[in-house]
Amino acid sequence: MHTLIRKCTEVDLETIFEVINEAAIAYRGVIPDDCCGDPYMPMQELRKEMDEMTFFGYEQNGRILGVAGYQPIKDVSLVRHVYVLPEKQRAGVGTKLLNHIISMATGKRLLVGTWADASWAIRFYERHGFTMQANMDELLREYWNISERQVETSVVLGVDLPQQS
């Protein structure tokens, strides 16, 4: 079995779209209905996101099973969009993608925003050393470009990064 994590390109757009939207089915009935469209992430929004950050794909035997976005911004790095195909969840794919991002993160902290009601996502990040941040609304407004509604319904977790001298 051949696996690798690689930077995604425009060629991977359709696959990233499919992975995100299949994985995001878990949000239905959990996050507020007005925050959960169909599809969860429209193609136009995904194209915009790909312009703003780097996506990595976890590929096994030529098939992308999970994706994650990475975005250094100001004095931190952001984990963005960690999604794994439902049938491949709980098999270490998300952990491998997150560890890849952690290994390349720059700045003083690595932050991730997720839905406040997505308890499984919060537990995933907490298992990897992330903790809830006290000033979540401030962080969401400072480092993310999201609606006020999303600020109201989201949390931020973070981990301090080792400082290089």
Residues 32-64 have pLDDT tens digits of: 888 888 899 999 999 999 999 999 999 999 999
**pLDDT given for residue 38 in this prediction:** 87
pLDDT of 165 over the 60 cut = no
**pTM metric for this prediction:** 0.93
Q: Where are the domains of the chain?
A: 3-160
3-160 CATH: 3.40.630.30
Distances (CA, A) of 2 to 9, 12, 64, 127: 20, 18, 12, 27
Return d(Cα 11, Cα 38) in angstroms, integer.
23
The whole-number average pLDDT for the span 53-79 is 97
Residues 102-138 have pLDDT tens digits of: 999 999 999 999 999 999 999 999 999 999 999 999 9
Partners of 68 in the β-ladder: 56
